[in-house]
Amino acid sequence: MPKRRARGLTGRIALLHSVAHIELNAIDLAFDLVGRFSSELGPNANEFVTDWLKIGAEEAKHFLLVQNCLVGLGAAYGDLPAHDGLWEAAQNTSSDLLARLAVVPMVLEARGLDVTPAMIERFRKQGDEAAVAALETIFRDEIGHVEAGTKWFRRLCQRQQLDPIKAFKQLVEQYFKGSLKPPFNEAARSRAGLLPQFYQNSID
Ligand SMILES: [Fe+2]
Ligand SMILES: [Fe+2]
């Protein structure tokens, strides 16, 4: 794997390349939710499909924004190897909608909210305004993605008479390989409706 902490242009390209890879996977993940799970939603299927089609379109916009930044630096998506963590998470949760929502929007996309502000600052310091603008758009939209994931998770728990906090913790322990690592961007997570009770002390 290329060193994302490498300095200068190489490091910026490696970081943007890893973001582009995440966004490309996120397109597939949004449409996979629609195709794989919308039949489970009964009368709510229309709203579910509408939410995730919009999110899929935003992920496509994110990919193009980041790809344009890469091209501006003389690179392109596909130049570097990329890891498969997001797609593995999708495969692991392909038979359980609650697990998918817990792991993808509520753990992985929420993690994006934690790390993106520092990334924005890094590009700002290097004077890369195109990357700053792209990442600011991504950050803003991703709050909506975490919000949609949390909304549907809560609704499905209510339908199945499950405690959402307990269910989330169980599913994360069962389906998510890593641990939930602070520091958390509590302000952004709360704007998305993802309250600290979900992610604090998740091993308890
Ligand atoms: Fe995105
Ligand atoms: Fe997203």
Q: Does some domain include residue 1?
A: no
Structural domain contains residue 144 = yes
Cα–ligand 1 centroid distance for 204 (angstroms): 30
Q: Is residue 180 in some structural domain?
A: yes
Give the CATH number of the domain where residue 178 resides.
1.20.1260.10
Q: How far is the CA of 25 from the centre of ligand 2 (A)?
A: 10
Measure 203 CA to ligand 1 centroid, in angstroms: 28
CA–CA dist 34, 65 (Å, integer): 24
pTM for this predicted structure = 0.94
Exposed, middle or buried, 54 (CB in 10 Å: 0-12/13-18/19+)?
middle
Classify residue 48: in a domain, yes or no: yes
Confidence check: pLDDT of 83 > 80: yes
Query: Which tens digit of pLDDT belongs to each residue from 161-203?
Result: 999 999 999 999 999 988 899 999 999 999 999 999 999 975 4
Domain annotation covers residue 184: yes
Distance CA 149, CA 134 (A): 22
Domain that holds residue 178: 8-199
Q: How far is the CA of 58 from the centre of ligand 1 (A)?
A: 7
Ligand 2 center–CA 87 separation, angstroms: 14
Tell me what pLDDT residue 184 has.
97
Residues 31-40 have a mean pLDDT of: 96
What is the count of structural domains for the chain? 1
Average pLDDT of the residues in 72-97: 94
Answer whether residue 86 shows pLDDT above 50.
yes
